[in-house]
A = this chain, B = another copy of it.
């Protein structure tokens, strides 16, 4: 059978919803913690293809998921652009963008260079994956990357980046457009090395009022999505915290919209009839008993559209989730069956 995940992205018929989990290769897995102990710091893990490929494959081996997502971080491609990045463990940028003159420091490698480790990781993972498991590449969305670039750290209030954008709107447009172009080239490289779908993480779009989201987040994300349309791989735009943007999302030029757990999937399907949907169980449910995880997962599957739906959490799995909770989630989806012939 052709890959369930890719079929669902294209709204083709599947026997059950495909399932993968954001941050599925992560600290909740004992085998991940084992590798991490030996490898040392996070950036080194991302940059060592042998390690990154092994980590990418760990959750596939354990859970038999329908898609693998290459192990990396949305901030790593900023390094070849001239950004001084460290993790300890939170990300920190030593040379943040604080005024328009700082933008001139940002280089776009052309052709894309400086993330060869990711290409090699993709090559290795692609060679190891069975045909029924898709390989997903990814990047951060322009607004989310711009937030990190200006704030320098993970912010709660986003006052620095909003100050920059309000005071220098044209420069900020230039910044997010630059990031869109850079990430388009970055994703292109990933597809050349075997990524069969790409996800764009807009982790911080939820910090924006709709008017600002349209200009600072959705517009440059559209630019990025348009720039890779010719690659003909499914494009997923993950609008974290975007419950208030349902009326703006229909215009996004992508095959799949990723939603967080604040969005009702039934309502989303009515607002977004053209898109496949991905999500959206609260990762916090995986902190509960297995019985509750199964009940909530089934309720999610029942509320989701029958055509064009990919089961996932509504955000990354957290480090404190027990492995049996992930098993309960994945197992419930894998045990589900669409009745033959039922489509909508």
Contact = CB atoms under 8 A, between A and B. Distances in A.
A320 B161 CA distance: 13
Interface residues of A, number: 36
A44 interface: no
A166 B289 contact: yes
A212 interface: yes
Interface string A285-320: 101110010000001000000000000001000101
Interface stretch (A69-77, A104-112, A260-268): A260-268
A96 interface: no
A110 to B, nearest CB: 33
A206 B243 CA distance: 11
- Interface-centre pick from A162, A284, A292, A314 (highest chain B CB count, 10 A): A284
Interface string A144-178: 00000000000001111011011100000000000
B262 A162 contact: no
A210 interface: yes
Interface of A: 157-160, 162-163, 165-167, 206-212, 241, 243-244, 261-264, 282-285, 287-289, 292, 299, 314, 318, 320-321
Nearest to A165: B288
B284 A157 contact: yes
A264 B209 CA distance: 9
B209 A282 contact: yes
Contacts of A241: 262
A299 B209 CA distance: 13
A322 to B, nearest CB: 10
A288 B166 contact: yes
Contacts of A212: 282
